[in-house]
Amino acid sequence: MSIHTVYRFRRILCRFTLPVIAGALLVACSSNQSSTDLADTSAFRLDRFKDMERAQNFDRCAEEGLMLDAEARRRASAGAFLGSARVLSGCIDDIAPSADAVPQNKRMRIHALAAVNYFKGGDVEATRRSFETFKANYPDRDLYLGNNISFVETANVLLGRTEDFRLGQFSVLNVDENLKREIRRIDYWKNR
């Protein structure tokens, strides 16, 4: 091979190599950009997966609490109601960091049932704490129990957080008629 051929070969090599190297660099730069997009997509998918996992854990926990509630109703046991309330409160506590993973109405129902079961189990202080947390987590929201009675107003009456029930004020509260009668009876005998 002559020197002339070597130079010619070098020129051809340089002429084709530089564009190939430049193209490779451009591809490498653009792949870095898409790897950032991939990282964002991966992070989003990972967050979404964690939310789904938390929602499934909440559902399993709530199902266990509801089974305990059904058993407590069947046995009419204060201890069983307390057990159900503790499990349901645990469900709410576990989902708190990512509350958006579970629909609000589902969280509200489980939270309210926990408060009711604490009351049925005889733990008024735990009922009060659970109810206060309910009101803090869901301000200006309420649930309607059977017969379209208000959970918030009923809890307020049961916890003694309403004003005196004189001259028909009590009748405007959206609480169960049996509860109204019982409160009126207690009020009547307290004032005798």
Q: pLDDT, tens digit, for every residue of 136-147? A: 988 889 888 777
This prediction has a pTM of 0.68
Residue 35 has pLDDT above 60, yes or no: no
Instruction: Return the CA Rg of the chain.
Output: 33
The closest of 143, 68, 136 to 96, measured between CA atoms, is 136
> pLDDT for 38-95, tens place per residue?
567 778 788 788 888 888 999 999 999 999 999 999 998 999 999 999 999 999 988 8
Note the pLDDT of residue 88.
Answer: 94
Burial of residue 163, with CB atoms counted within 10 A of its CB: 0-12 exposed, 13-18 middle, 19 or more buried: exposed
The closest of 85, 81, 141 to 108, measured between CA atoms, is 141
Hey, how many other C-beta atoms are within 10 angstroms of the C-beta on 142? 17
Helices (H), the chain: 3-75, 78-95, 104-120, 124-137, 151-158, 177-190
Question: In sequence order, what are the beta bridge partners of 150?
Answer: 144
Burial of residue 150, with CB atoms counted within 10 A of its CB: 0-12 exposed, 13-18 middle, 19 or more buried: middle
Cα separation, 11 vs 147, in Å, equals: 92
Handedness of CA 134, 138, 140, 143 (dihedral sign): negative
**Residue type present at position 100:** D
Residue 16 vs residue 155, higher pLDDT: 155
Note the pLDDT of residue 177.
Answer: 73
Identify whether the C-beta of residue 79 lies closer than 8 Å to the C-beta of residue 121: yes
